[in-house]
Structures are given as C-alpha cells and as structure tokens.
Amino acid sequence: MKLWDAAADREKRSRTMFAQQTIKVEEVWEELKAVQEATGAGANLEIFVEESLAAYGAIVSRNGVLSIDLKDPEIPEALREIAGNDQLKVCFNPSFKEGAVYLNRTHPMVEGIAGFVMENAFDGETPAVAKRSGVMSTHLVQRRTTLLLVRFRYHIITRINDIEQPLLAEDCQVLGFEGTPSKAEWISPDQIEARLGLLGFACLVAEAVDKFLNMGALGILFGALFSLQVKTHAPGCFKPVITALVER
C-alpha cells in the first residue's frame, strides 16, 4: 500500500510541475530577457574577441567575416594554442559563411580567450592587456562613478524525502555607485548598462589614478555591499546572495 501511495504522490507532483495551464507568457518573456542580458549579445562578443586579440598583437581585419592573423612571434604561445591556428576566419552570426568558424559565447575558443585575459589580469607578473582596476575620464559622465565586477555564490538546497542535497552556483554581475565609497549612491542596472556602452574615454596620469584607486576605501565599500546584501528590498541594485530550498 505504501508503494502505491508513493507512486500516486509522485504522479500528483509531476502533474503539478508540468501543468502548462499555469504558465504565463509575461513571466516566460521576463526570464528569457534576463538570460539574454546575462549572456550578452553577439555584438558584445564580437567586440570582446576582436579587441582582446588585437591588444595582444594579432592583425584583425573585416571582410564579411573577422580575419585573424596570429603569426607575430610576440603574441603569447598560449593564445595561439587557444585559436588552434595562426590564421583563421571567424563570424558571430549563425548563418556563417563557408570557411569561417562560428563563435558563440560557449565556444571553446571564446572561453579560452576569456580565461587567458582574466588570468593574466590577476597574475600580476605576466604582462596583461586587461587590468584588475583602472580610472578613466569622460565628459559624458557628470559624477564620479564606480563600476564593480562581482561574483555571487548561491546555495541551492534540494530536499527529497527529507534528504538535503546542496548545490553551489555562481553568477557574475556588474554593480555601480556614484560618489565616494563612504557615501555611495547605488545606481540601477539600466544606468550601469548605459555607462558600459560609453565611448570617448581618456586615461589619467598615474598620480590621479592612485588618488582615485584608494585601496583604503575597500573596508568601507565591503561594509556597504554587506548592507545592501541584507536589505533584500533595495531598489533593484542587485540580487543578494541567497540560500534557496527546493522540495521535491
């Protein structure tokens, strides 16, 4: 009898989980939009690949597709290995032309370039084109604005028959605030996106960079981030680190 009841209970849960009459188009669209924003557009990917390779000395040209030449001996050997060839053509549109490699966000070459750029930025010893931090000036932003690339960790706990199975998931997001760290005014995702798309930046002299990159302010900033984390009702600044419990 217990086996029968368990089977009936599983069937009941299955029908509830997969009941499509409860699906709302608006909610599906919001989820799809969030996924697209998280993964980025093809244009963002194209800019990243082109600028990253060019910064390391590759010759990049356009003629319907992106032609990449990595013959320069000054280009890191690891980058050549990631590309798999000294010369290749790539594109970022699924309707790609013959002879070109279609690159999407999860392509091994894209993941390899991203990992190489990031690891060199954190290494500190190897010359890197990307930096862990920087300061730029532009007339398009009226107030001092700080953008932070942060990593969130989510604890997802699935409970099946009173047995908990923990799962760790990670996500990266960009946060931003105006003003100084001690009086940070956190800005919305739309405002962050607008600032990330700005062009026409100018670099500052080393003294000015050191002044703005005051590492002593990190303690204040961490306190502000923790404060926002526990205030889950904060106006859309970012999602706090959470522990989700899913029962099955």
The first and second tokens of residue 2, run together, are 């217990």
Q: How far apart, in whole angstroms, are the C-alpha atoms of residue 187 and residue 193?
A: 10
Q: Do the beta carbons of residue 146 and residue 176 sit within 8 Å?
A: yes
The first and second tokens of residue 238, run together, are 């970012």
Q: What is the CA radius of gyration of the chain?
A: 23
| Burial label, 92 (beta-carbon count in 10 A; 0-12, 13-18, 19+) | buried
In order along its 248 residues, the chain shows pLDDT tens digits of: 556 566 666 666 555 555 555 677 787 788 777 777 666 666 778 888 998 999 988 998 887 788 899 888 888 888 889 988 888 888 887 776 677 888 888 889 999 999 999 888 887 666 678 888 778 888 888 888 888 888 777 778 887 777 888 888 887 788 888 888 778 888 888 888 888 877 767 777 777 777 777 655 666 776 666 665 544 333 444 444 444 444 44
Domains of the chain with CATH codes:
42-123 (3.30.360), 136-247 (no CATH)
The first and second tokens of residue 82, run together, are 């990631």
Sequence-ordered alpha helix ranges (H) in the chain: 2-17, 25-39, 42-55, 77-83, 108-123, 189-196, 206-212, 218-230
Q: Do the beta carbons of residue 244 and residue 156 sit within 8 Å?
A: yes
Please enumerate in sequence order all residues whose Cβ is within 8 A of that of 85, keeping only pairs 6 or more positions apart, or say none.
70
Print burial letters for 30-59: b (CB count within 10 Å at least 16), e (below 16). Answer: eeeeeeeeeeeeeeebbebbbebbeebbbe
